[in-house]
Amino acid sequence: MYQLIDGKTTSAKIKEEIAEEVKQLIEAGGKKPHLAAVLVGHDGASETYVASKERACKFVGFNSTLVRLEDTVSEEELLQRVNELNKNEDVDGIIVQLPLPSHINEQKIIEAILPQKDVDGFHPVNVGRMVIGLPAFVSATPAGIIELLKRYNIESSGKSCAVIGRSNIVGKPMSILLSQKADFGNATVTLCHSRTPDLKEITEKADIIVAALGKAEFLTGDMVKQGAVVIDVGITRVKSDKTKSGWKLLGDVKFDEVAPKCSYITPVPGGVGPMTIVSLLKNTLLASRKEIFQ
Amino acid sequence: MYQLIDGKTTSAKIKEEIAEEVKQLIEAGGKKPHLAAVLVGHDGASETYVASKERACKFVGFNSTLVRLEDTVSEEELLQRVNELNKNEDVDGIIVQLPLPSHINEQKIIEAILPQKDVDGFHPVNVGRMVIGLPAFVSATPAGIIELLKRYNIESSGKSCAVIGRSNIVGKPMSILLSQKADFGNATVTLCHSRTPDLKEITEKADIIVAALGKAEFLTGDMVKQGAVVIDVGITRVKSDKTKSGWKLLGDVKFDEVAPKCSYITPVPGGVGPMTIVSLLKNTLLASRKEIFQ
């Protein structure tokens, strides 16, 4: 019988822990950690993400600032606003909600954020530091997955691991973290992608599978060995006549087929998803303590 | 019959090409590319490396500067010298020969070099940019290996690849480059290391093997499949009564056993080794043209 890796409960627990830490921080005379978010335009999904980040900040006792800009904002103006947040000593962490309008160079904006405040971990300095094994802000999803392994005490050392998908924000950092000389690292990782000719050959031997390619129900039962740990990063919204909303969320894993073969598996929703916001809060706390860059 | 990947001849050819480019650059009114090396102390191997870098610079028509410092130099003094080179507008590339004396924080020195002049590619900004897929100075050995694949037109796309060793300067960047969405990337890479329980199981299925763990003659014939491409990064100096010097160099690959099974293989010496200096020259040329950071 498989065990469900419950990201919802785990993330709620971690939020309580962070709230407690913040309380102690303030009792000891420290200042409230402060996360600033920049939201350009009115994209529905972005509005939802930013709102839930604000709620989470409030819950754990962080200050949060939302800088709203119209989607007609110039790159220069946006850079200036980021720079103001860089200079604002009260602000510990800065996120610019992606995607940005097409007339703005996203990479340029990412690199404009001070690495010391880059709690999304997208700045090349943080990516590089993570790869080298230096303290770094690690991006939310990979950090959340490592945290789940920790909380469920799932050993990765000496295990074989297949990471499916080579995105900059999930697949690549995930493969690096899992293979690193560190607790909840030390796995032998194969990074699979669209040019992998026989994926099944790799996944069916893997002790741990991280599915992060963004194709609904891609990983099927026949691709997984008995006792595997399966981490599902995918979220695809599909129409459904069985839900009130008319929509349902699917992961990259065909859960009904795969789960019975697993030792541990994350559900969608309620698995990796809720952990991302917790990673962001943790990074903001680290930023406020100046623990990453010394 | 296997084909030898001849790094000595290839690197000589590339040096000729660089020399020709420099000639044209100067004829067009440009300035000579300029590489500055900092050498602390009098370590024999470091002296040899730095001398051969200077020779190579001279050969291709670069200016080169050698800053010599005693091994009693303070970290502060070294940082100051690096900073002077950062500010010197004539200097395009800076390398600080490693290792440094133990009283100096190597990482601090690496990070003091301006990323725009970091032709060794060790600065976190360059590592991060490489991982993200942005233009970057890639460190010498991985860049040299990719160059050999190019020159011998060895297809990596869709191939399975085992990288043995997870060092920051070879194994990790190698695994990232080979799996990246790029020409001479797109391979499915498994990064193997000391905690990989059954290495042979992985190497014997690999189309391409990069051995970079630093153990003499580690990769034996039984670990390699027929037709594999084998890249040997190891250099271990061992005593020998068959050479005049009383020493010989061994790679990480047991050449006599492995070569007959290969389609392509690099020898040691004369394989990957000579390519590293070429990578450094190429990076310096890129730096002088300001092609990486714009």
Task: Kindly list the domain boundaries of chain A, sorted by start residue.
Answer: 30-120, 140-274
Q: What is the pLDDT of residue A223?
A: 98
Q: How far is B272 from chain A (nearest CA, A)?
A: 22
C-alpha to C-alpha distances, B203 to A162, B80, B242, nearest whole angstrom: 16, 46, 31
Are B199 and B153 in contact by the 8 Å Cβ rule? The answer is: no
ipTM for the predicted complex comes to 0.95
Q: What is the pLDDT of residue A276?
A: 96
- Which residues from chain A sit within 8 angstroms of residue B133, using beta carbons? 168
Residues of B with catalytic annotation? 53, 97, 120
What CATH topology corresponds to A30-120? Rossmann fold (3.40.50)
Kindly indicate whether the domain formed by A140-274 is annotated with CATH number 3.40.50.720. Answer: yes
CB A191 to CB B186 under 8 A? Answer: no
Q: Please give the full DSSP string across A67-130, using - where no structure is assigned.
A: EEE-TT--HHHHHHHHHHHHH-TT--EEEEPSPPPTTS-HHHHHHHS-GGG-TT--SHHHHHHH
C-alpha to C-alpha distances, B206 to B163, B193, B228, B230, nearest whole angstrom: 10, 15, 7, 10
CB A196 to CB B158 under 8 A? Answer: yes
CB A175 to CB B157 under 8 A? Answer: no
| Alpha carbon distance B251, B249 (integer Å) | 7
Query: What are A212-224's pLDDT values in tens digits?
Result: 999 999 999 999 9
Q: What is the pLDDT of residue B20?
A: 98
B294, pLDDT greater than 90: no
Question: Is A188 in the B-facing interface, judged by CB distances under 8 Å?
Answer: yes
Q: Which CATH architecture has domain B30-117?
A: 3-Layer(aba) Sandwich (3.40)
Phi/psi of residue A69, nearest 5 degrees: -130, 145
Question: For the CA atoms of B241, B246, B251, B254, what is the dihedral angle to 10 degrees?
Answer: 0
Size of interface A-B (CB pairs under 8 A): 106
- B185: nearest CA partner in chain A: A195
Q: What is the pLDDT of residue B81?
A: 98
Q: Work out the average pLDDT over B134-146.
A: 98
Q: What is the pLDDT of residue A264?
A: 98
Question: Is B189 in the A-facing interface, judged by CB distances under 8 Å?
Answer: yes
Phi/psi of residue A77, nearest 5 degrees: -60, -45
Q: Is A98 exposed, middle or buried (0-12, 13-18, 19+ CB in 10 A)?
A: middle
B11 three-state secondary structure: helix
What mean pLDDT, rounded, does chain B reach? 97
B47, pLDDT greater than 90: yes
Query: What are B167-181's pLDDT values in tens digits?
Result: 999 999 999 999 999
Kindly indicate whether the domain formed by B140-273 is annotated with CATH number 1.10.510.10. Answer: no
Q: How far is A34 from chain B (nearest CA, A)?
A: 26
C-alpha to C-alpha distances, A23 to A29, A32, A61, nearest whole angstrom: 10, 9, 8
Report residues of chain A scoring pLDDT below 70.
none
Residues 121-160 of B with CB under 8 A from A: 123-129, 131-134, 157-158
CB A192 to CB B188 under 8 A? Answer: yes
Q: What is the pLDDT of residue A28?
A: 96
CB A124 to CB B124 under 8 A? Answer: yes
Residue in the structure block whose two tokens are 């200042």: A31
E-only strand ranges, B240-284: 247-250, 262-265
CB B166 to CB A188 under 8 A? Answer: no
Confidence of residue B1 (pLDDT cuts 50, 70, 90): confident
Q: What is the pLDDT of residue A294?
A: 75
- B129: nearest CA partner in chain A: A124
